[in-house]
A and B are shown apart, each in its own frame.
Chain A
Amino acid sequence: QSALTQPASVSGSPGQSITISCTGTSRDVGGYDFVSWYQQHPGKAPKLIIYDVSDRPSGVSYRFSGSKSDNTASLTISGLQAEDEADYYCSSYTRSSTWVFGGGTKLTVL
């Protein structure tokens, strides 16, 4: 159950767009459309922002979008805002009927 691979950090200026990648294998990301993304602010619980690769829960800003190509999923945040500064985690269902998270990406808004 190896963790999915995410960049340790990304940064962008207010108003810009950034993309966070999440790379797995055909046994997880590439094999199922069950990729989700979570936002975690310091000292807070994670919050679901994308599920089933590209769907947004009610109440989540349209600025958050998700996609997938082969074994890599991506989270794009457009129109960066200061409050977007947080840690972001991807997750995927796996062939073993288990779940796996990525190592997390720290987003800094410059």
Chain B
Amino acid sequence: EVQLVESGGGLVQPGGSLRLSCAASGFSFSNDAMSWVRQAPGKGLEWVSNISGGGGSTYYADSVRGRFTISRDNSKSTLYLQMNSLRAEDTALYYCAKKPSDAFDLWGQGTMVTVSS
């Protein structure tokens, strides 16, 4: 079955760190770019970051650049998002998504990150 399963979310204090993981299965993971997209409670979708299939190219939204780092381990078919210096406004459901070309064609169910003291 083709699927993405996120994990690693939780409650963290402002200024803290968290690492999200996304385990992929059912497709050739290394062939496709991958992305993180977040959705604050009751709000719309916000693109966070992209990484190329080989991992050599990464892109970030202005709101997270310098604080978040996207990476991947193709041998483990796993995508990561290292989140540092977390802020209240980073509170959201974080989705990983497969992006083979110009659209996000497969989404996980998301992992919730709550930044609060």
Contact = CB atoms under 8 A, between A and B. Distances in A.
Interface string A75-110: 000000000000001010100011111111000000
Main secondary structure of the interface of A (DSSP, over half): strand
Given A45-B109, A48-B104, A52-B102, A1 B61 contact: yes
Interface in B56-71: 59-63
Contacts of B95: 45-46
Contact of B107 (A47, A51, A93, A102): A47
Contacts of B46: 3, 101
B105 interface: yes
A46 B26 CA distance: 19
Contacts of A36: 102-104
Nearest to A34: B102
| The 3 nearest A-B residue pairs measured at CB | A51-B103, A36-B103, A104-B44
Contacts of B103: 34, 36, 48, 51-52, 91
Interface in B28-55: 35, 37, 44-47, 50
A52 B101 CA distance: 9
Chain B: interface size category: 20 to 34
A98 B104 contact: no
Contacts of A100: 47
Contacts of A40: 45
Contact of A51 (B105, B106, B108): B105
Nearest to A90: B45
Nearest to A51: B103
A16 B47 CA distance: 32
Contacts of B62: 1
A97 B61 CA distance: 10
A46 B104 CA distance: 9
